[in-house]
Amino acid sequence: MAPNASSELKIFSLAEVQQHNTPESLWMIINDKVYDLTKFAMEHPGGEEVLFEQGGQDATEPFNDVGHSSDAREMAEEYVIGRIADDERKSAKAAVGDNSKAVPWSEILLSPTWTNFLIPAGISILVYATYRTASKLLTSF
Ligand code: HEM
């Protein structure tokens, strides 16, 4: 749909969105797009309180965490009023093209989830140690 093509959307700064954090003017960011949910809040099946809590903020994570249906995602498109400026986008640096779902490498590398590295590293050390022990045992015969 042309009006929602990212390149044609009105561009907002984070500071601008942050000002709309009340039930009277309720904006939030989901996947780098800006939503005006002032009118939708009352109709939201998950209640208006959860939306008020996210007012003026980036609600991408809470939105995804709920596991919203594809109907909900489609519904959301009705409330898009613009997008976040390129240099302020969360996914700006590493996103390939306009694929805002791509997880930037920097995020993976700097992730506090050390298990990303520790598990493979642990397995490698274990395999190496097993190999060394096995070859020592074999050569000792
Ligand atoms: C444009 C934005 C949003 C739209 C159009 C939307 C729409 C919906 C819809 C249609 C449902 C019913 C269940 C489903 O179809 O998935 C729902 C449930 C819910 N939503 Fe949203 N939602 C939006 C944003 C958010 C945000 C930002 C939160 C953040 C906390 C949130 C939290 C919830 C919760 C907690 C439920 C209830 C889930 C349940 O009962 O299992 N929603 N939403």
Nearest protein Cα to ligand 1, atom 2: 76
Residue 50 lies inside a defined structural domain of this protein: yes
- Establish whether residue 72 lines the binding site of ligand 1, counting it when its CB lies within 6 angstroms of any ligand atom: yes
Q: How far is CA 43 from CA 34, 38, 40, 49, 67, in A?
A: 19, 10, 5, 11, 18
Mean pLDDT of 65-91: 93
**Overall domain count for the chain:** 1
44 lines ligand 1 (CB under 6 A): yes
Q: Could you report the per-residue pLDDT of 96-112, keeping only the tens digit for each? A: 445 556 677 777 777 76
What is the residue range of 91's domain?
2-95
CATH code of the domain containing 56? 3.10.120.10
**Would you say residue 104 lies in a domain?**
no
Mean pLDDT of the chain: 86
Which whole number is the average pLDDT over 110-133? Answer: 85
- Is the Cβ atom of 46 under 6 angstroms away from ligand 1? yes
Q: Can you tell me which atom of ligand 1 is nearest the CA of 35?
A: 1
Predicted local distance difference test score (pLDDT) of residue 76? 97
Residue 90 confidence (pLDDT)? 78
Q: Is the CB of 66 under 6 A from ligand 1?
A: yes
Is it the case that residue 92 has pLDDT exceeding 80? Answer: no
Q: So what's the pLDDT on residue 6? A: 54
- Give the pLDDT score at 44: 98
For residue 56, count other CB atoms closer than 10 A to its CB: 19
Query: Which residue has its alpha carbon closest to ligand 1 atom 33?
Result: 46
pLDDT at 115: 73
CB 7, CB 99: distance < 8 Å:
no
In angstroms, how far is the first alpha carbon of the chain from the final one?
A: 73
Q: Would you say residue 54 lies in a domain?
A: yes
Does the Cβ of 54 fall within 6 Å of ligand 1? yes
- Residue for token pair 């939201």: 44
In a domain, 64, yes or no: yes
Q: Whose CA is nearest to atom 28 of ligand 1?
A: 63
The percent of residues above 90 in pLDDT, for the chain, comes to 63
pLDDT per residue over 56-72, tens digit each?
Answer: 999 999 999 999 999 99
Residue 105 lies in a domain: no
